[in-house]
Structure 1
Amino acid sequence: MSRRTRSTTAALSKLTEPVTKKGTPGPRAAKIAAAPQSPPIRLFDTAVAWETWLVANSQDLAGVWLQIAKKAASKPTVTYDQALDAALCYGWIDGQRKTHDAEHFLQRFTPRRKNSMWSKRNVDKVAVLIQEGRMRASGQAEIDAAKADGRWERAYAGASNIQVPADFQAALLKNSSAKSFFEALNKTQRYPFLWRIETTRRPETRRRRIDEYVTLLADHKPL
């Protein structure tokens, strides 16, 4: 083999992924192929335009970033509440929010994942949407699945009205340091503790989680 051939072969080996015995890509190539693409950013002037997009795309796409106008923006768009109502009708749900520019923020919407928990806010919302005749088959399917497996009854409260569970309160009463630190937290800081406890299904996991949180709080550490 000539020096040029050896050099070319070495260079190519750095750019290619080994293949398994059956001819399938190795783990590195598979990981790259499986990497999710970033959802597109879309702006809709009206709620009707957003719902029209959902009709065409909600069964095929993995998500979208909605560019939503802030209250003081010079040009209005579909609002967050309007977008969420329409999303629920088609089995989608809101997710992460992030900044975008001076007049807009980005709100992510995706199809609801299997076994994802429901919030009490959205349980109340879909009741109104059903009454108004807006619910679609894909949205109703998510509701039916949640009712069938118990997630509907376990819907969790939002940060503004979630209560401290009795078993967590009892554990805090046994540890004055943890209790004092927890009570000094604001609603936003308390919410991760309460949400994770309330959405835990298995009793033994719930008890273990409460013990872990009391220890964490006693050390004056938030989640």
Structure 2
Amino acid sequence: CHFCGKIDIGGFWYKCLQCTNCDRCSSCMSSPKAWASHDPSHRFFPIQTNNDLSHYWIVKHDMEKTWQPPYVHLGVTCSGCQTPNIRGARHRCLMCDDYELCRDCASDPEKRMQHNPKHPLFPIKSPLDKSVYDEARRQVNDHAEARMTRLVVNRARTSIEHHDVTCMGCAQTPLLGVRYRCMVCLDYDLCSQCHSDPVFRDNHPLDHAFFPIPDPRFVTAYDDALDRLSRLGH
């Protein structure tokens, strides 16, 4: 055994499929210290005491045909541990221009919290996958721009002021955003927040309809609605 030094291993012994000169006894196969002394990603194959290695070489040959060494991202340094030339998958931020983590740092909660946890990380297995990352980032940016546009539009809507108008619910004046005016009472207005609040709405007869006025220029639409109601006999 290459860890404990035991000779003439009884029962099964285990041979590394990546390192042909590394063997272990069954006791060391279950020892955390033994695993820490060797690459934990390496696989071991069980061999009986009759030293029949035929199955071992078959498995090793099949594995080597499908196994590829991890790609090295030359010139790319991990922002977490500062290791240059990241090996294996690199995890690049979709929001920032130059922030990426190696596999170990991306799975480390402490290293992950050193960056904005709301920023998604995109795995790039090989340098050839950079175009896939670029497309993913483009979609994220398009979504962020659309969200910002909606936010600006919503802010513009709520910034509209109805001068000389006071909300009868919260006493806001001038009333901002959409103004809701009662179709029955001559002088009763609510802001959009109070209009959607059951407490403020219950302070006024529930059978009274409210007309939305999004802009002071549309007050005439309210007058037209009142005129139509009067002609209908309401």
TM-score relative to the length of structure 1: 0.23
Rg: which structure is higher?
2
TM-score relative to the length of structure 2: 0.23
Report the structure, 1 or 2, having the larger strand content: 2
Structure showing greater relative contact order (alpha-carbon pairs closer than 8 Å, 6 or more residues apart): 1
